[in-house]
Structures are given as structure tokens and as C-alpha cells.
Homo-oligomer: A and B are copies of this chain.
């Protein structure tokens, strides 16, 4: 068989582990040929690809990023890809395509699949917000990086009687904030799923100071936002270069807390360090397994599906099912964390 693979969307620790695993399983398990398209669907459309053999994937398991590159593609061109699906498959002699990506990529994968391309998707997102899979690789690494940052900030907050506001990734789903907040022992956690009352955070901090715990760490997802009326909050203005000024929720919230309480409050915006670099052992194992199972699914002819973790097992589920709704933090997980506001 001839299997194509591509990686699309934002960076995510574990992409290289998937590529390596697909190549290993396909070549040593089945004697397949694997080709890798460069820069996501762009490479597929424009014919940029290279053969991947064992040497090509040697030493990449623990490396961040993706050796195939990744680029965003406009929606119109994705549609083009979908429409010429069958033709593309013929052109490259593809028996299967394994696109590795997030919600957007999997939606495109589904379009391609519907149009006749034999597709087995592999879900990827540090945000852990894809339905139908218990977890996605990249998420554990993001949580680990955020937790290590909270660990460091906590000692400073405590020694200097300060409030620290850590903004972590998560535009629509609060999983990173929830788990790094729990793991780091944040005293307040704010999620996109629940508008928060600044007043409640102020009260929590003041109660802590009152009982001698003169510091607090608040972990806030970038997509979190105050309840209406709870905080004067304007979206970032446009500066002289036409760029939106960075005035994310972390910076705003720290300023607001400082203003209301007269206590030092400092924002830390973790940003891209959460989505790059070497994956945790957990993410490497999951990425490995997803790659292995994608090849198995190809050989069983289970197309139009993607790999998914269910409990301890990796299975495949219909792409259709996976991309219909975002997996957000449910109410009972919020209760467990105790400190979500």
C-alpha cells in the first residue's frame, strides 16, 4: 500500500511521534510505502511531498514540532482539495491518507472522505477539546508546562505577598486551565465555560489574606471572561500599526484585582511555550498508539474514521461524530476542582 500523511494546524507536542509510528508500523508491519505531504493540505494540493523511510523518522520521537511542517489553508482551498479528492488520490497513487490535526483539519478530512478519499484521521490538539476521544496528545505536555510555571510562581507570590494571574491557553475549552490549576494548586481558576464574577475572586483573595495566607495564584484560560457587568472590559484597541494590542484577560484581570484590592497583582502570559518542545512520556505513548492504530485501520479498510482513546484502549470512531461539537469542561469536573470561579 501507499499511505500519505500530513500534519495541519497549530503546533502540538507528539506530531513527530505520530509520523514516526505510522512509518514504523506501515513499513515493518506491512511493507507499505509512506509519503509525507509538506505543510499540511497545502502540500497535498501543490504536490509537495517526500518519501518517508525509517531513516527519515530516526531520532524524531522526542522532538517537538513536525518534520513535515504545517500551514493554515484558507477554507476555499480546503474545499478545492475536497472536490478533487478522488483525483488527488489517483494522482499520488494513495491507498490511504492519514491527516493529523485538530477540529479544522478533521472537518476537512471528513470532507475529503465524503468526496472519496480513503481517510483515517488522527486527532491532535493541546486543548483536549475534541469529542469522541478521552484525551488528545499534546494536552498532557501543555498541562505540564503550565503546572511547572504555577509551581514557580507560587513561591514568589508567597514570599512577596502578591497575587499572580497566570493566563494559559484554551480559547473555547478550559481543560488546560482546569488541570494545570488543579495540579498547581491554584486558588482560583477561570474557564471559558463559565463567566466569572471578579467580585468572587476579590473575596477569595481577601479571605486568604485575612487568615494569614497572604498570597494567591489565579489560573485563567485565555478564553475566560468576566460575567457581564462584573468588570469593565474592552477588547484590545488597534495600535498605529494596525495590530491589536495585547490586552488579554490575564493582564486585564491582574490590573483589575490590583485596582480593587490595592495589593500587588502580576500577570504572566505563558503563551506558545505550552505548545512546543519535547512531549511528555504520556503524550509520546498516546501519539505512538494513535499512529499504530491509524495504520491498522487503513489495513482493515476502516475509512472515514479517526483514532480515539476510550478508557485504556485506542479505537476508531466516525469522523462525523468527532467534529460535531467541541468537548468543553462539564459541570461535574468543575465541582471536583473546588477552586473554579
Could you tell me which A residues sit within 8 Å of B by CB distance?
Answer: 7, 10-11, 15, 24-25, 28-29, 58, 61-66, 69-71, 134-135, 140, 143-149, 151-161, 164, 179-180, 182-185, 213, 232, 239-243, 245-247, 251, 255-256, 258-259, 266-273, 275-278, 280-282, 284-285, 288-289, 292-293, 310-312, 314, 336-338
List, in ascending order, chain B residues with CB within 8 A of A284's CB: 147, 182-183
List, in ascending order, chain B residues with CB within 8 A of A312's CB: 134-135
Nearest to A69 among chain B residues (CB) is: B159
A280→B144 contact, CB < 8 A: yes
A273→B268 contact, CB < 8 A: yes
A271→B266 contact, CB < 8 A: yes
Among candidates B144, B288, B338, residue contacting A182 with C-beta atoms closer than 8 Å? B288
Number of copies of this protein chain within its complex = 4
CB distance from A7 to the nearest CB of B (A): 8
B336→A281 contact, CB < 8 A: no
B153→A276 contact, CB < 8 A: yes
Q: A241-B255, A246-B246, A338-B28 are in contact. Are A152 and B268 (CB under 8 A)?
A: no
B267→A246 contact, CB < 8 A: yes
List, in ascending order, chain B residues with CB within 8 A of A147's CB: 281, 284
B276→A156 contact, CB < 8 A: yes
List, in ascending order, chain B residues with CB within 8 A of A270's CB: 273
A64→B269 contact, CB < 8 A: no
